[in-house]
Amino acid sequence: MLYTSVTFSANTALNTAVYTATITNNLPVVVALTCDPSPCPFNVDNSGKVTVAADLQSNGVSLYTWSLEADDTYNTVVSQNISVIITDINVAPTITNLNDVATVLENQPIGTSVYHVSYSDVNGDTPTFSASFTPAACASMYNIGTSDGIVSTRVALDFESDPSCSMVVDVFDGRATSSPGTLTINVADVDETPVWLQAGYTYSTPEVPSGTALAVAGISATDPEGAAISYSIGCGSDSGYLTVDPTSGAVTMTAAFDLEVSAVNTHTLACTLTAADATGQSSGADLSGAAVGATFSLTMTATDGGTPPLSDTAVVMVIVVSTTTTTTTTTAATTAAAASTGSEESTGFLSSTESIVFFVLACVISAMLAAVLGFLVWKFCCRNAYTNGATKVAPNQGTNQSNKYEVLLVNIGLYSVLLG
Ligand SMILES: [Ca+2]
Ligand SMILES: [Ca+2]
Ligand SMILES: [Ca+2]
Ligand SMILES: [Ca+2]
């Protein structure tokens, strides 16, 4: 008896018997099998047993029509058509939402979801997603979940350097791979804060007058969007000593810091420079995590406040120096040391026009006073002595009086030298 229909799985192993025809004849027969469609992935032996002869999954055919023939050399018997239903034929998964375009903001946290690739599989197979990237560097920026198809970020994206990536995605169901789909990912620009060339700047200077520009190297910030930068400075309790040019970033000493007044050898002005772009992006909003406030330390160093102190002789200079800075004390023994080390007072005196004028003025006045005094002494003492003739030497004073006049003349001579 022949069946009109038979069903078995496409996963049936090779050589497995899936059907046996019942053939009744008193002579040996030769049995043949034909399949529609062909080729036929089955064998039949002369007993009528049909076995699997090829991988039914690879064939991908879910329905055959068989026809069997039995021939005993005298007669040929043909069976009725037999419907063969192959179950579990795998169908490759299908990606259902590609090709497509996704957009993600730059600087989002690592792991931010960008897109969810969806698929279908009529067999309900477990999918495995994979992707290739163009340019290849994008592989380090994006990841696709192998089991869920979620595309996410691997880094904080940067619009300015990597604005777009493309990825080709496919899904494998364990036996077959889907057709590929393309996902284009565009990074959207975000207005970011300026970035400093350096995280901090340190500069040392001796005491300098107000208005001195400080040659601090490298004070510069750039804006990712190319906006103009505006610089500002904040020094907290040290405010007032430094300003920054809002356009160039140049730092200027706007008030002289006097180390001696503060009784210190060094003082550090700890300030914070801020660079702002045209849209006001400055501190606290930089999603990229870059430093936005550069710490600026200005260390003032003293050259005279320590050991050895300056000498008495240097007091001449101190008069002047005190108009801009001050100096310390007085021991004659250190004059040479102060001069040889190029002390601040020497440098300050020579560099100050006010000081030079003051000093010269003092010398002139002193000389004039000395000249007047000498003249008066000469007029009322010496001239009388010489013009009195025989009374040149006073009887009651003897030679001692004459010696006194000579000393005074010597002094007058000295003042003349100073005036000359
Ligand atoms: Ca499948
Ligand atoms: Ca950026
Ligand atoms: Ca940007
Ligand atoms: Ca900006």
Residues 100 and 182 in one domain: yes
State the pLDDT confidence band at 87, using cuts at 50, 70 and 90: very high
Distance 178 CA to ligand 1 centre (A): 9
- Residue 140, judged by CB atoms within 10 A of its CB (0-12, 13-18, 19+), counts as exposed
Residues 218 and 294 in one domain: yes
244 lies in some domain: yes
Residues 77 and 98 in one domain: no
Confidence at residue 356, expressed as pLDDT on a 0 to 100 scale: 55
Q: For residue 211, what are the domain limits? A: 195-301
* Alpha-carbon span 290 to 399, nearest angstrom: 94
Mean pLDDT across 341-362: 49
Lookup result for tokens 């023994």: 333
Choosing from 65, 87, 109, the residue where a domain stops is 87
Has residue 77 got a pLDDT over 80?
yes
Has residue 289 got a pLDDT over 50?
no
Instruction: Please tell me the number of the ligand nearest to residue 275's CA.
Output: 4
* Alpha-carbon span 420 to 275, nearest angstrom: 61
Residues 207 and 141 in one domain: no
Residues 252 and 287 in one domain: yes
364 lies in some domain: yes
Distance 193 CA to ligand 3 centre (A): 9
173 lies in some domain: yes
State the pLDDT confidence band at 281, using cuts at 50, 70 and 90: low
Residues 77 and 37 in one domain: yes
State the DSSP H helix or E strand holding residue 375, giving kind and residue range, or none if neither: helix 353-377
Residues 287 and 374 in one domain: no
Mean pLDDT of the chain: 74
> From the centroid of its chain, how far is CA 235?
23
Alpha helices in 309-352 (DSSP H): 315-321, 335-340, 344-351
27 lies in some domain: yes
Residue, of 287 and 147, whose pLDDT is higher = 147
Residues 148 and 220 in one domain: no
Distance 286 CA to ligand 2 centre (A): 9
Instruction: Please tell me the number of the ligand nearest to residue 279's CA.
Output: 4
What is the tens place of the pLDDT at every residue in 142-151? 999 999 999 9
What pTM, to 2 d.p., does this model score? 0.56
Instruction: Please tell me the number of the ligand nearest to residue 287's CA.
Output: 2
State the pLDDT confidence band at 375, using cuts at 50, 70 and 90: low
- Residue 234, judged by CB atoms within 10 A of its CB (0-12, 13-18, 19+), counts as middle
Residues 51 and 98 in one domain: no
What is the tens place of the pLDDT at every residue in 208-243? 889 999 887 777 888 888 888 888 888 888 889 888
Choosing from 156, 188, 220, the residue where a domain stops is 188
CATH number of the domain encompassing residue 78 = 2.60.40.60
Residue, of 275 and 314, whose pLDDT is higher = 275
Radius of gyration from C-alpha coordinates of the chain: 53
Choosing from 301, 331, 346, the residue where a domain stops is 301
Confidence at residue 316, expressed as pLDDT on a 0 to 100 scale: 13
351 lies in some domain: no
Residues 174 and 108 in one domain: yes
Residues 406 and 374 in one domain: yes
Nearest one of 6, 8, 70, 72 to 34, comparing CA atoms: 70
Confidence at residue 298, expressed as pLDDT on a 0 to 100 scale: 57
What is the tens place of the pLDDT at every residue in 49-68? 999 999 998 888 999 999 99
State the pLDDT confidence band at 11, using cuts at 50, 70 and 90: very high
The structural domain count of the chain equals 4
225 lies in some domain: yes
Strand partners, 222: 195
Distance 189 CA to ligand 4 centre (A): 10
Residues 78 and 166 in one domain: no
What is the tens place of the pLDDT at every residue in 98-129? 999 999 999 999 999 999 999 999 999 999 99
Distance 229 CA to ligand 4 centre (A): 9
